[in-house]
Amino acid sequence: MRAAVFDSTAANASRHWLSIEEVSRPELQPGHILVKVVACGVCRTDLHIVEGDLPPIQERIIPGHQIVGEVVGGASTDLPLGARVGVSWIGGVDGECWYCRHAMENLCDRPQFTGYSVNGGYAEYASVRADFAYPLAPAMKPTQAAPLLCAGIIGFRSLRVAGVEHGERVGLYGFGSSASLAIRVLRAWNCEVYVVTRGASHRKDAEAHGATWVGDENSTPPVPLDRAITFAPSGKVVVSALSHLRKGGVVAINAIHLDQMPSFDYDKLLWGERQLRSVANMTRQDARDFLALAHELNLRQTVTEFPLAEANRALEAVKHETASGSTVLVP
């Protein structure tokens, strides 16, 4: 099969992070299903993997953790042949560590990460754990379903971690794939949404999606915020979000990697029971709850498609925020 492979030992000259290769189709293992990939979303985490911000776990890996596929092997009554399924970043947990036993499988001590510790969906086929594949409604277009699987689910988890309640004032810092899905949930919950983002096209998108107020990275929302979610991989943005909170407010950091965390004034910014929280991975319950909500809200995402052979260009588009909405590879 054809796949885009990241080799962590190869020098990545001229931004060719991935090489397009013919590799053998994955063998079906017990407890797994084989899926034919129909679409695979591109996430900023993929960029962190190929740029070495996240340390390599495997020497060679096929990235991609927003997989929409069709079951072609290992079928069961729950996941019959031809069924449409989605696969996300958490590709498996051990089920027995302290975190798994306390409903925090997102923090599992021995997790599998799709497209990072095990091969992902930048390929024609992928082998995935059957108990981490989510049935998708056949009516949903595969390219539109793909970004829901990480950007959507983890964005939704961020709202939970931030403790967002209906009708609150919520700040979104950065307006890429994840934020543009989260705002739809926030609007459905009658929240006022304040968007701070650097790209002019992203500010336009935010307005189109019903943001109450939109500003660039140097501006301050006109009201103190109840909650804020930061999406940019920048510690400076986190501190800025913290400075816009009311007392008792929460900043949830939706980023697997931050450039660095600048020092800040505790007395002014964190005192008053303000909270700073990271958002790590997701549970299967987050996935099921968000996918059901996305179906109910009829979420339709703007998508920029790239063929698998242009995986490097797709990563460039995520890096430079040039694509509108979400970026998706089609094999």
Residues making contact with Zn ion (CB under 5 A) = 43, 45, 93-94, 97, 100, 108, 150
Least distance in angstroms from the C-beta of 299 to Zn ion: 17
CB of 219 to Zn ion, least distance (A): 28
Cβ 320 to Zn ion shortest distance, Å: 18
Q: Which is nearer to Zn ion, 178 or 312 (CB)?
A: 178
CA quadruple 151, 237, 212, 270: dihedral, nearest 10: 110
Is the CB of 20 or the CB of 97 nearer to Zn ion? 97
Least separation in angstroms between CB 205 and Zn ion: 19
Distance of CA 191 to the CA centre of its chain: 22
Q: Which residue has the tokens 């500010």?
A: 203
The least distance separating Zn ion from the CB of residue 93, rounded to whole angstroms, comes to 5
**5 or 93, CB closer to Zn ion?**
93
Nearer to Zn ion, 213 or 305 (CB): 305
Rank residues 94 and 265 by Cβ distance to Zn ion and give the closer one.
94
- List the structure tokens of 331: 């094999």
Give the residue with the Cβ less far from Zn ion, 96 or 265: 96
The nearer residue to Zn ion, 152 or 171, going by C-beta atoms, is: 152
Q: How far apart are CA 148 and CA 169, in angstroms?
A: 24
**Dihedral in degrees, nearest 10, Cα atoms 39, 41, 45, 50:** 50
- 180 — phi, psi (to 5°)? -70, -20
Cβ neighbourhood burial of 240 (10 Å; 0-12, 13-18, 19+): buried
CA-CA-CA-CA torsion for 231, 234, 238, 243, nearest 10 degrees?
Answer: -120
Q: Considering the complex, state which of residue 150 and residue 164 has its C-beta at the smaller distance from Zn ion.
A: 150
What one-character-per-residue DSSP string does 79-139 give?
A: S-TT-EEEE-SEEE--S-SHHHHTT-GGG-SS-EEBTTTB--SSBSEEEEEGGGEEE--TT
Nearest approach in angstroms of CB 110 to Zn ion is 6
Query: Taking CA 312 as the corner, what is the angle to CA 311 and CA 313, rounded to the nearest 5 degrees?
Result: 90
Tell me how far, at minimum, the Cβ of 97 lies from Zn ion, in Å: 3
**Between 93 and 206, CB nearer to Zn ion:** 93
- Give CA angle at 313 (260, 236), nearest 5°: 15
Q: Where are the beta strands (DSSP E) in 177-224?
A: 192-196, 213-215
State in angstroms the smallest separation of the CB of 150 from Zn ion.
Answer: 3
What values do phi and psi take at 152, rounded to 5?
A: -70, -55
Structural tokens at position 231: 């999406």
State in angstroms the smallest separation of the CB of 96 from Zn ion.
6
Burial of 268 (0-12, 13-18, 19+ CB in 10 A): exposed
The count of other CB atoms within 10 Å of the CB of residue 305 is 15
